[in-house]
Chain A
């Protein structure tokens, strides 16, 4: 009945493939038509406001919830028809989870290694390597109850990685992490993508995804939003400008007729439509000998899109 080989097709199978996924809880349609693919060897950001169905989508992909309609493939395995095979290839880290307080970090990871059927002789080496990878090596023999929230979060990440899954589903992995751990998490996600994993990560802290994601999936009210139709590039977004001579910058902007708003620290904010307009502005400013040294978007691309979703919602 169960075939252990992913179905052969043309080219490498995408890590996650979701087609028309729907799932309702009673009257609440938590996931109401989600279609997307997350490629292997890439980090895919999953973005949407609270209640947009992110957590439910991850439960569907982790093989814990049955979809009412639609289907999903994990590393080529249908989550419904081949649940166990799909489940074995997913590393899932929920947004909130508990630990076994009396067990040591090593024991918890060893338990999950056993639960995935990893050879009991091979698991100690794997466990200690993983603990080092998430910088919990010194806590290997300590009970999980002494861990801080951020450390527990990193243990949870190690737990999701114990069976070397093809697909990683991370629900708010950065919550509770200090800035240094966030950077380490970012590097780890990049490393995993480089190793060929499919990484799907949801977060509310968009600035952090900004630096790590390759593609993004936007959710709104349980549906995927077709971002190609979002007029993000054409719409005006805020850019922050600063120059060694603020007065010269302001005079220049007035001269070329670009409306600006001044900031208390001397910077000015202007509204520009896309990168082309920004390039033109830089060229003109340099041509006019304005000592411009900073030009940067006020918000990241993800944040811009996210905010435009919220506008659509209201």
Chain B
């Protein structure tokens, strides 16, 4: 097919033309300078603020991951905002300026024009992202972030920006008015980032159901008696340290014989909607330190790392609700003990001072692991969307025109 004929010369011709036309203007230099100052200011603020809030004397937390995550998200967010401006009026704008048809009349194919425009827009957006790199390097050094993590995060950000460029190009080919295509491009970005996650959240009532659950616990009258004892202790010792608390009646723990139901939100049916969110994709793709691989939830909560927290949140949503519940071990939690799960999903209870307590619970909890990454699905879905919009742009640029879209003139 003629429309898809690609040559290096053709791509180079269109890309050079677009870049020259864009970069030659003085506004471009001004915009880059302003951007450099803005991103420098924001990243410095983030690094300073996180170092004030996290860590410090006697804390084992490092402000680095938080600063790095916020900076990566800032750069991604700005990239998603900047990228549409380079393509959202690229085709319909050229058409109304009278510079499109004379290019289409040459030997250039529709694909060469579309992909050349996409390449030029992407390279321009990348210049903006690269301007931010010194500050990212700074937060990398102060936060002891691995170079590998920086490279991986930015590679994913670059690809996502290319997708948004392609979406803008598609809209500019579909709609005849630049204002319309700009609005639709920004709406598409909002749909990917905010609306996807919002829709998932709003679907939660639809995936709510009452499920049968097997409960490991104590008889309800024993539970009531123990609860009364605990309440008495706290009313007698309002300022107590929990020293004389009654021992939970764990010797009476058994599988309940009567059938119990529990209301569950089956987010595992809708969680995938949010995987398309570029912020989730970047968070999930960010390499983690080795200690996070055994137990993600432990790492996320201790390290104050938003990227790990998002990854944990999304993966937790993907896990179906447990069909067994341990009410027994909850008694320890109420009584001031520390309740944790090891990497096998077995419960580990310790006293406040750290002495292990022997608890024999048959209920295991599935730990959240990082074994199966979800970001390839999110990135893949984004790439598919971008490819679709690019395909639309090529089809709309194909000459000779058959049906002309309403409100469009050839020249």
Residue of A nearest to B20 (CB): A103
Q: Which segment, of A89-97, A125-133, A221-229, A303-311, faces chain B? A: A89-97
A96 touches B98 (CB 8 A): yes
Residue A159 lies at the interface, judged by CB distance under 8 Å to chain B: yes
B54 to chain A, nearest CB (A): 47
Residue A258 lies at the interface, judged by CB distance under 8 Å to chain B: no
A92 touches B105 (CB 8 A): yes
CA distance A88 to B105 in the complex (A): 8
Contact with B along A79-92 (1 / 0, CB 8 A): 11001100110101
Contact with A along B1-34 (1 / 0, CB 8 A): 0100101011011101100111011000000000
Instruction: Provide 15 A-B residue pairs closer than 8 Å at the C-beta atoms, listed in order of the A residue.
Output: A60-B400, A63-B400, A83-B2, A94-B411, A97-B411, A101-B21, A103-B20, A103-B21, A103-B24, A111-B16, A114-B13, A115-B106, A116-B107, A117-B9, A163-B106
Residue of A nearest to B22 (CB): A102
A75 to chain B, nearest CB (A): 15
A299 to chain B, nearest CB (A): 32
A250 to chain B, nearest CB (A): 54
Residue of B nearest to A67 (CB): B400
B402 touches A84 (CB 8 A): no
- Which of A80, A92, A103, A116 interacts with B400 by CB under 8 Å? A80
CA distance A51 to B338 in the complex (A): 86
CA distance A79 to B400 in the complex (A): 9
A88-B106, A94-B411, A116-B106 known; 5 new pairs, CB 8 Å cut-off, are A62-B105, A64-B411, A92-B102, A98-B98, A103-B24
A90 touches B105 (CB 8 A): yes
- Which of A65, A96, A111, A163 interacts with B17 by CB under 8 Å? A111
- Given A65-B401, A66-B400; A115-B10 close (CB under 8 Å): yes
Residue A100 lies at the interface, judged by CB distance under 8 Å to chain B: yes
Residue B104 lies at the interface, judged by CB distance under 8 Å to chain A: yes
CA distance A97 to B104 in the complex (A): 13
Give the B-binding residues of A (Cβ under 8 A): 25, 55, 59-60, 62-66, 79-80, 83-84, 87-88, 90, 92, 94, 96-103, 107, 111-112, 114-117, 120, 143, 159, 163
A100 touches B17 (CB 8 A): yes
Q: Which residues of B contact A92 (CB under 8 A)?
A: 102, 105
- Which of B5, B7, B13 interacts with A111 by CB under 8 Å? B13
Q: Which residues of B contact A163 (CB under 8 A)?
A: 106
B102 touches A97 (CB 8 A): yes
- Given A102-B21, A114-B12; A87-B102 close (CB under 8 Å): no
CA distance A65 to B104 in the complex (A): 11
CA distance A202 to B103 in the complex (A): 21
The tally of CB-CB contacts under 8 A between chains A and B is 98
Residue B410 lies at the interface, judged by CB distance under 8 Å to chain A: yes
Q: Which residues of B contact A60 (CB under 8 A)?
A: 400
B12, B105, B402, most chain A CB atoms within 10 A: B105
A114 touches B400 (CB 8 A): no
Q: Which residues of B contact A64 (CB under 8 A)?
A: 101, 104-105, 399-401, 410-411
Q: Which residues of A contact B2 (CB under 8 A)?
A: 83-84
B17 touches A97 (CB 8 A): no
CA distance A117 to B5 in the complex (A): 13
B411 touches A96 (CB 8 A): yes
- Given A79-B400, A114-B13; A102-B105 close (CB under 8 Å): no
B102 touches A94 (CB 8 A): yes
- Which of A25, A97, A116, A143 interacts with B99 by CB under 8 Å? A97
CA distance A107 to B399 in the complex (A): 25
Q: Which residues of B contact A62 (CB under 8 A)?
A: 105
Residue B404 lies at the interface, judged by CB distance under 8 Å to chain A: yes
Q: Which residues of B contact A25 (CB under 8 A)?
A: 404
Nearest first, the 8 A-B pairs at minimum CB distance are A98-B98, A102-B24, A115-B106, A114-B13, A98-B97, A97-B98, A66-B400, A98-B99
Residue of A nearest to B7 (CB): A117
Q: Which residues of A contact B17 (CB under 8 A)?
A: 100, 103, 111
A122 to chain B, nearest CB (A): 13
CA distance A98 to B21 in the complex (A): 13
B101 touches A97 (CB 8 A): yes
Residue B286 lies at the interface, judged by CB distance under 8 Å to chain A: no
- Which of B9, B25, B402, B404 interacts with A114 by CB under 8 Å? B9
CA distance A97 to B99 in the complex (A): 6
CA distance A64 to B2 in the complex (A): 13
Q: Which residues of B contact A84 (CB under 8 A)?
A: 2, 5, 107
B107 touches A117 (CB 8 A): yes
Q: Which residues of B contact A83 (CB under 8 A)?
A: 2, 399-400
Residue B108 lies at the interface, judged by CB distance under 8 Å to chain A: yes
Q: Which residues of A contact B24 (CB under 8 A)?
A: 102-103, 143
A88 touches B410 (CB 8 A): no
Q: Which residues of A contact B404 (CB under 8 A)?
A: 25
- Given A59-B410, A100-B21; A94-B99 close (CB under 8 Å): no
Residue of B nearest to A156 (CB): B102
Residue of B nearest to A117 (CB): B107
A134 to chain B, nearest CB (A): 16
Q: Which residues of B contact A112 (CB under 8 A)?
A: 102, 106
Residue of B nearest to A59 (CB): B410
Q: Which residues of B contact A59 (CB under 8 A)?
A: 410-411
**CB neighbors of A among B396-411 (8 A):** 399-402, 404, 410-411
